[in-house]
Chains A and B, each alone.
Chain A
Amino acid sequence: MAKVLMKGNEAIGEAAVLAGCRYYFGYPITPQSELPAYLSKRLPQVDGVFVQAESEVAAINMVYGAGSAGARVMTSSSSPGISLKQEGISYIAGAEVPCLIVNVVRGGPGLGNIAPAQSDYWQATRGGGHGDYRTLVLAPNSVQEMADMTIEGFELADRFRNPVLLLSDGVLGQMMEPVNLPEPRDYDVNSKKWALGYPGKDKAERNLCSSIFLDVEELEEHNWHLYQKYQVMTDLFSEGQYKDFAVEEHLCDDAEIILVGYGIISRILKTVVEKCRKRGIKAGLLRPKVLWPFPTKAIQRLADKAANFLCVEMSCGQMVEDVKLAVNGKKPVYFFGRTGGTIPSDFEILNEVDKIVRPD
């Protein structure tokens, strides 16, 4: 297909349709509004279902219902709305129902503002709701990746029977870039043997989607089962099949300072790296493309070579904790952040690099 110019939010919508998603449940909130608007037009054209729910809470529970019935299903929102969805996400994770959840992050806490931010990192990577669970978190940095990761997100959700979170931000949602859209994929709603209403002859006596295990021993067993699944995911993303998908390294081999950033920040950091190199500073970029499982091992490897790490975020410092855990005291880890919807400039970051590598 030829490249098309699209907004990030719309690219997610079209990619979802191409991935075979036919069910969307959501509630309006800025800055993700183009996504439900796009799908409200697009899904009926492919016999899909678009429901504008009465709340974020209802929307995520519609996702829970549809996902439990075998649908390839998604919802989207922005920060305050994602907070409301946490109850449902916890149930979905507990019941092991696949789905895609898009967060076009805006400034918080509270109502905050509608400008881009990365201040939902902790919520996204620590589970977010109650209980021992994890969501797989993908972090695109371009409109192309908004599309690609949407498609991959559905596949990963199905593979691991786990909710997948696409952690974007107000910039990526709103900006326009050329996108190469892939060929459409088929998805069969009757492809999951465990789903409610599965009609196949190989079905178990009956199917149940539930997250309640009243017996403490049963819940402990279930939680260890989830934990083992998360370990498998961690291994696949750090050393296995998804190793290259999980992280992007740019000029890290000889770098004395590694800049660490995800999402839209990584685009700015790439410029910073180039400017550093022109000025004789050996800088490299490490970009986690998957935030959970976090690319701990990739950072560990670099911690043996590089002298310093600088983590840059559009928050007061959240991912930096994971970077520090990975570096484990081997090298200094510095942080620079702007918050409240402010985007740091390459100039500001360059100043921070200077302070670290040329302190005098």
Chain B
Amino acid sequence: MKQVFKRPESLSKTPFHYCPGCDHGVVHRLVGEAIDELELKNRAIGVAPVGCSVFAYDYFDFDFNQAPHGRAPAVATGIKRTRPDAIVFTYQGDGDLAAIGTAEIIHAANRGENITVIFINNAIYGMTGGQMAPTTLIGMKTATSPYGRDASTAGNPIRMSEIIATLESPAYVTRVAVNNPANLMKAKKAIYNAFKLQKEGKGFSFVEVVSICPTNWGKKPADSHKWLAENMLPVFPPGTFKDVHGVEKA
């Protein structure tokens, strides 16, 4: 019998602990597939953030560092500078990357560190219980914006891909979603491209994945993906903001 589907070698056998319907498992798998397909497993070193994916190191089957909140790009810088042949990536949420770790991500990008960043944007803090994130939509109710996010006091959703794309150094900046099969295939390709660029030593690659948080959004998974398409994607439009080496055309 021919095997047509299997767990990527880059993923460990540990079952995901994520909530039912969460996109983390899907994105972990896409990262695992990309690393497998590029034959990078033996060189891969991941950096886990603080947030729901703090235990990412349990789900990937290679070396990992667990970084302080927001500092993953700095930790990844230290690892990559020490081991230039390693394939180093961070996996960060919106609180980690777009709030407490804003300085670290901007400057790692601006130095053009030859690392890959996978940024999960689900507009909310998951692990701590559904607080307002920098990417929370206007009017969106969270544990710390019970009347809905008010732009006059809490500002507007921050668009990290667009900000990072203004820098000269990054090689690849793209935003994808995994809310339907078509988008998922685009996300897979984007993550593959990002690691391919790193493999070729072409610099900083950044993939934002617009994702859902059914538990803290208080919605069923299917409804969450519908809500994402209708509400999040207009604010965080998918697309490629920077592709210096034309990896998408290759």
> Which chain A residue lies CB-closest to B104?
A58
Known contacts A58-B74, A58-B103; A65 and B54 CB within 8 A of each other: no
Complex contacts, A209 vs chain B, CB 8 Å: 64-66
Interface residues of B, count at CB 8 A: 32
Known contacts A65-B47, A197-B63, A197-B86; A91 and B68 CB within 8 A of each other: yes
A205 to B75, CA, bound (A): 22
Known contacts A71-B82, A189-B82; A57 and B65 CB within 8 A of each other: no
A340 close to B (CB within 8 Å):
no
A234 close to B (CB within 8 Å):
no
Separation in Å of the A307 CB from the closest CB of chain B?
Answer: 49
A53 to B111, CA, bound (A): 10
Which A62-107 residues have a C-beta within 8 angstroms of B? 62-71, 73, 87-88, 91, 95
Contact indicator A61/B66 (Cβ below 8 Å):
no
Find A73's partner among B78, B80, B83 (CB 8 Å cutoff): B78
Complex contacts, A51 vs chain B, CB 8 Å: 77, 81, 111
Complex contacts, A210 vs chain B, CB 8 Å: 48, 57, 64-66
Complex contacts, B81 vs chain A, CB 8 Å: 23, 49, 51, 62, 66
Separation in Å of the B173 CB from the closest CB of chain A?
Answer: 19
> Which chain A residue lies CB-closest to B67?
A61
Complex contacts, B79 vs chain A, CB 8 Å: 65-66, 68-69, 196-197
B213 close to A (CB within 8 Å):
no
- B71-95 interface bits toward A, Cβ cutoff 8 Å, 1 = contact, 0 = none: 1001111111111001000000000
> Which chain B residue lies CB-closest to A205?
B61
Find A25's partner among B45, B54, B61, B78 (CB 8 Å cutoff): B78
A168 to B143, CA, bound (A): 46
Contact indicator A69/B78 (Cβ below 8 Å):
yes
A25 to B45, CA, bound (A): 20
> Which chain B residue lies CB-closest to A214?
B55
Contact indicator A65/B65 (Cβ below 8 Å):
yes
Complex contacts, B67 vs chain A, CB 8 Å: 61, 64-65, 91
Separation in Å of the A69 CB from the closest CB of chain B?
Answer: 4
Contact indicator A67/B78 (Cβ below 8 Å):
yes
Complex contacts, A253 vs chain B, CB 8 Å: none
Interface residues of A, count at CB 8 A: 36
Complex contacts, A69 vs chain B, CB 8 Å: 45, 78-79, 82-83, 86
Separation in Å of the B52 CB from the closest CB of chain A?
Answer: 13
A206 close to B (CB within 8 Å):
yes
Known contacts A55-B103, A69-B82, A196-B45; A64 and B65 CB within 8 A of each other: yes
> Which chain B residue lies CB-closest to A25?
B78
Separation in Å of the A28 CB from the closest CB of chain B?
Answer: 15
A38 to B48, CA, bound (A): 33
B107 close to A (CB within 8 Å):
yes
Q: Which of A71, A88, A206, A207 has the most CB of B within 10 A?
A: A206
Separation in Å of the B31 CB from the closest CB of chain A?
Answer: 16
A208 to B77, CA, bound (A): 17
Contact indicator A71/B78 (Cβ below 8 Å):
yes
A54 close to B (CB within 8 Å):
yes
B241 close to A (CB within 8 Å):
no
A102 to B106, CA, bound (A): 27
Main secondary structure of the interface of B (DSSP, over half): helix
A69 to B77, CA, bound (A): 11
- A141-152 interface bits toward B, Cβ cutoff 8 Å, 1 = contact, 0 = none: 000000000000
Which A301-357 residues have a C-beta within 8 angstroms of B? none
A189 to B83, CA, bound (A): 9
Q: Which of B43, B54, B77 has the most CB of A within 10 A?
A: B77
Find B61's partner among A55, A67, A95, A206 (CB 8 Å cutoff): A206
Known contacts A196-B64, A206-B63, A209-B64; A61 and B75 CB within 8 A of each other: yes
Contact indicator B66/A65 (Cβ below 8 Å):
no
Contact indicator B71/A58 (Cβ below 8 Å):
yes
Complex contacts, A212 vs chain B, CB 8 Å: 54-55, 66
A153 to B61, CA, bound (A): 34
A62 to B74, CA, bound (A): 5
A211 close to B (CB within 8 Å):
yes
Contact indicator B65/A68 (Cβ below 8 Å):
yes
Contact indicator A208/B68 (Cβ below 8 Å):
no
Complex contacts, B86 vs chain A, CB 8 Å: 69, 196-197
B62 close to A (CB within 8 Å):
yes
Complex contacts, A66 vs chain B, CB 8 Å: 78-79, 81-82
Contact indicator B63/A207 (Cβ below 8 Å):
yes
> Which chain B residue lies CB-closest to A50?
B81
Known contacts A196-B83, A211-B66, A212-B54; A88 and B78 CB within 8 A of each other: no
Known contacts A53-B107, A57-B71; A208 and B66 CB within 8 A of each other: yes
A65 to B75, CA, bound (A): 4
A95 to B57, CA, bound (A): 14
Known contacts A23-B82, A66-B78, A210-B57; A54 and B66 CB within 8 A of each other: no
Taking A207-B63, A209-B64 as known contacts, 18 extra A-B pairs with beta carbons closer than 8 A to each other, sorted by chain A number, are: A49-B82, A57-B74, A58-B103, A59-B74, A62-B77, A62-B78, A63-B78, A65-B65, A65-B74, A66-B79, A69-B82, A196-B79, A197-B45, A197-B83, A208-B65, A208-B66, A209-B65, A210-B48
Please report B residues at the A interface, Cβ cutoff 8 Å.
43, 45, 47-48, 54-55, 57, 61-68, 71, 74-83, 86, 103-104, 106-107, 111
| 15 A-B residue pairings within 8 Å (CB atoms) | A23-B82, A49-B81, A54-B103, A54-B107, A61-B104, A64-B74, A65-B47, A65-B65, A65-B67, A67-B78, A68-B78, A196-B45, A196-B79, A197-B43, A210-B65
